[in-house]
Amino acid sequence: MPARLIDGKQTAAAYRERVKADVAAFTQKTGVTPHLAAVVVGENPASAVYVRNKQRACEQAGIGSSLHALPESASQADLLALVQDLNADPAVHGILVQLPLPGQIDERAVLDAVAPLKDVDCFHPENVGLLSQGRPRFAPCTPAGVMELLAAAEVPTASARAVVLGRSEIVGKPMAMLLLARGADATVTVCHSRTADLAAVCREADVLIAAIGRAKFLTADMVKPGAAVIDVGINRLPDSEGGGLAGDVDYDAVNEVAGALTPVPGGVGPMTVAVLLRNTLTAAELQTAGEPG
């Protein structure tokens, strides 16, 4: 029997409606419109699409947005100066630096330069530290989106065995922290492509999160029958394989084994954007209330 579809578009639409209502109430109460500034360096086509989608989502939620574009040749000093200008602008509540950045720029230095109260991606070490202590200021967008999908699909995490395939700073590590948090209470294993007997480790999972960045890496023999599988990956296939997009999960094969499964596209991606909107509102609330940081 095919796996139950975990529909990210449907879940995100409902989540965004709640954010929209909360934005309207906040703006009516304070006269402040939350504002997200997106920073793009170069002309990466994928980045351009992502930013347009985020700006459109902001508009639909009643959140202001602005795009700040620098050329591919921009120096690190140019980008840091722009970030500092946005940090100092009281009308800007959230700053999104679209990744990846060109090779001449130190990505970590730029992300560290974003003011913690405006770090709506939750990449700043101060915000990561708060997350690790179980008292997050912002929810990391993609991992929090995964948690929302699991909740909406009524996939239990308390006492569940969860495996996170991938150890990145953006998804894998914060995903593990959210699954470990009080209320989620999963027993969590983080693994990667060099984990010994990786397939056996993955087969232990009641909840399996694939975030390794390799197309169709997770195959059916790596999945426990009936497990909930969340595919975080989005990979562009070469023309020799028909082009198009594929997740980190071999969808057709895993669909016959898993109990529940997210599609690509239409799974985690819409929820990542939805959580970004919530974080922008949270940032505006904190800054309007005068929280130091």
C-alpha distance from residue 89 to each of 49, 86, 102, 230, 291 (Å): 26, 5, 25, 38, 16
- Pair (111, 200) in one structural domain: no
Asked if residue 26 belongs to a domain, the reply is no
Q: 49 falls in which pLDDT band (50, 70, 90)? A: confident
| pLDDT for position 48 | 80
Q: Does 166 carry a binding-site annotation?
A: yes
- The SS3 of residue 274 is helix
Residue 168 is labelled as binding a ligand: yes
pTM as predicted: 0.95
pLDDT at position 217, please?
A: 97
pLDDT-derived band of residue 93, with 50, 70 and 90 as boundaries? Answer: very high
Is 167 annotated for ligand binding?
yes
Residue written as token pair 């989620």: 184
pLDDT, one tens digit per residue, over 221-264 is 999 999 999 999 999 888 777 778 899 999 999 999 999 999 99
176 falls within a domain: yes
Mean pLDDT for the chain overall: 95
Q: Is the pLDDT of residue 143 over 90?
A: yes
**Are 98 and 183 found together in one domain?**
no
Range of the domain at 86: 31-120
Same domain, 207 and 147: yes
Which of 22, 118, 119, 121 is an active site residue?
A: 121
Query: Are residues 245 and 181 both part of a single domain?
Result: yes
Q: Are residues 170 and 55 in the same domain?
A: no
Instruction: Supply the DSSP string of 221-248, one letter for each residue.
Output: GGS-TT-EEEE---EEPPGGGT-SEE-S
Same domain, 180 and 78: no
Helix or strand run (H / E) with residue 69 = strand 64-70
Question: 148 and 249 in one domain?
Answer: yes
pLDDT of residue 194: 93
Q: Which of 54, 118, 173, 224 is catalytic?
A: 54
What are the tens digits of pLDDT across the range 255-292?
999 999 999 999 999 999 999 999 999 999 999 998 77
Residues 147 and 264 both lie in one domain: yes
| The two three-digit tokens of residue 15, written as one number | 């989540």
Distance of alpha carbon 17 from alpha carbon 244, whole angstroms: 30
Residues 257 and 147 in one domain: yes
Beta carbons of 184 and 156 less than 8 angstroms apart: no
Residue 54 is among the residues annotated as catalytic for this protein: yes
Q: How far is it, in rounded angstroms, from Cα 189 to Cα 180? A: 10
User: Is residue 127, in this structure, part of any structural domain at all?
Assistant: no
Same domain (yes/no): 182, 76: no
Q: Please indicate, yes or no, whether residues 99 and 154 belong to a single structural domain of this protein.
A: no
On whether both 105 and 198 belong to a single domain, the answer is: no
Number of domains present in the structure of the chain: 2
Instruction: Tell whether 235 is covered by a domain.
Output: yes
Which pLDDT tens digit goes with each residue over 151-204?
A: 999 999 999 999 999 999 999 999 999 999 988 999 999 999 899 999 999 999
